[in-house]
Chains A and B, each alone.
Chain A
Amino acid sequence: MNRTLQAFIRKELVQTLRDVRMRALLFGAPIIQMTIFGLALSTEIKNIKLAAFSQAGDAMFERVTEGFYASGWFARVVYTPGADPFELIASGRADAVLIAPAGGLRRSAERGGGKMQLLVDASNATKARAVEAYAKNIISAAAVREYGARGEPALKFDVRVLYNPAMESSMFLVPGVMGMLVCLITIILTAMSLTREREMGTFETIVSAPLSNTEVLLGKTVPYILLGLVDAALVVTAGYLIFGVPVRGPLWQLALASLVFVVNTVSIGTFISTVSKNQQQAMLGGFMFLFPAILMSGVMYPVENMPKAVIAVAYLDPLMYFVRLLRNIMLKGGDTQVFWTNLGALALMAVFAAGFAYKRFRQTLN
Chain B
Amino acid sequence: MHILRDPFTLALALGLPVMLVTFFGYAIDFEVKDIKIAVSDRDLGPAARRLKEIFSTSGYFSLVPQAAVSGPVEMLDSGRASAALFIEPDFSKKLKGGGKAEVQFVLDGSDNSKAAAVMGYLPGIQRAAMAKLAVQAAPEPFSAETRFLYNSELNSRWFTVPGLAAIIIGLLAILLTALTVAREWENGSMELLLSTPVRPLEIMAGKLAPYGILVLAGVFFVYLVSRLVFGVPFAGSHMLYLAACLLFITAALSQGLVISVITRQQQVAMQLGMITGLLPSMLLSGFIFPVESMPKFFQYLTMLLPPRWFMAAARGITLKGADLGELAVPFLALGLLSAGMLALALVKFKTDLEP
Pair B274/A184 contact, Cβ less than 8 Å: yes
B298 at the interface (CB under 8 A from A): yes
| Stretch touching chain B among A6-14, A139-147, A348-356 | A139-147
Q: In the assembled complex, which residues on chain A have CB atoms less than 8 Å from the CB atom of B266?
A: 192, 196, 279-280, 283
Known: A120-B149, A301-B29. A162 touches B109 (CB 8 A): yes
Q: Is A40 an interface residue (CB 8 A)?
A: yes
A122 touches B150 (CB 8 A): yes
Cα distance, A281 to B176, chains bound together (Å): 10
Given A157-B122, A196-B267, does the pair A98, B183 have CB atoms closer than 8 Å? no
B134 → chain A closest CB, angstroms: 10
Tell me which residues across on chain A come within 8 A of B263, comparing CB atoms.
21
Using an 8 Å CB-CB cutoff, how does the interface string of B132-172 with A read, 1 for contact, 0 for none? Answer: 01010111111111111111101110110000000010011
A234 close to chain B: CB less than 8 A: no
Chain B residues closer than 8 Å to A199, beta-carbon distance: 186-187
State which residues 76-97 of B face A: CB under 8 Å.
76-79, 95
CB neighbours of B137 from chain A (8 A): 150, 153-154
Q: Could you tell me which residues of chain B, from 320 to 349, have a CB within 8 Å of some CB in chain A?
A: 320-322, 326
Contact at A109–B141, with CB atoms within 8 Å? yes
Separation of A196 and B103 alpha carbons in the complex (Å): 62
Which A residues lie within 8 Å of B6 (CB)?
Answer: 280-281
Bound Cα distance A108, B290 (Å): 36
Alpha-carbon distance between A294 and B186 when the two chains are bound, in angstroms: 31
List the one stretch of A204-212, A253-261, A332-340, A358-366 in contact with chain B.
A332-340
Are the CB atoms of B150 and A123 closer together than 8 Å? yes
Q: Does A78 contact B (CB under 8 A)?
A: no
Across the interface, B110 reaches (CB within 8 A) one of A19, A163, A281, A286, namely A163
Within the assembled complex, what's the spacing in Å between the Cα atoms of A284 and B106?
Answer: 44
Of A117, A125, A152, the contact of B155 (CB 8 Å cutoff): A125
The verdict on A83 contacting chain B, using a C-beta distance below 8 Å, is no
Q: List chain A residues, Cβ under 8 A from B179.
A: 279-280, 283
* With contact pairs A21-B263, A33-B275, A161-B107 given, residues A125 and B151 touching in the complex (Cβ less than 8 Å): yes
A77 CB, nearest partner CB in chain B, Å? 12
Pairwise interchain contact B16-A288, C-beta atoms closer than 8 A? yes
Report chain A residues within 8 Å CB of B23.
292, 310
A302 at the interface (CB under 8 A from B): yes
CB within 8 Å of B: which A167-197 residues? 167-169, 171-173, 177, 180-181, 184-185, 188-189, 192-193, 196
Closest to B187 in A: A199
Contact residue among A44, A114, A158 (Cβ-Cβ distance under 8 Å from B105): A158
Are B271 and A301 interface neighbours, CB within 8 A? no
Alpha-carbon distance A43/B113, docked complex (angstroms): 6
12 contacts across the A-B interface (CB closer than 8 A): A22-B271, A40-B298, A42-B293, A122-B150, A122-B151, A122-B152, A125-B30, A143-B142, A154-B130, A154-B135, A159-B106, A294-B282
Further 14 A-B residue pairs, CB within 8 A, beyond A125-B156, A156-B100: A25-B275, A116-B144, A120-B149, A123-B159, A133-B123, A140-B143, A150-B138, A157-B102, A158-B102, A160-B104, A162-B73, A172-B109, A173-B112, A295-B24
Closest A-B pairs by Cβ, 8 of them: A114-B142, A164-B109, A122-B148, A172-B112, A40-B298, A154-B135, A122-B151, A161-B109
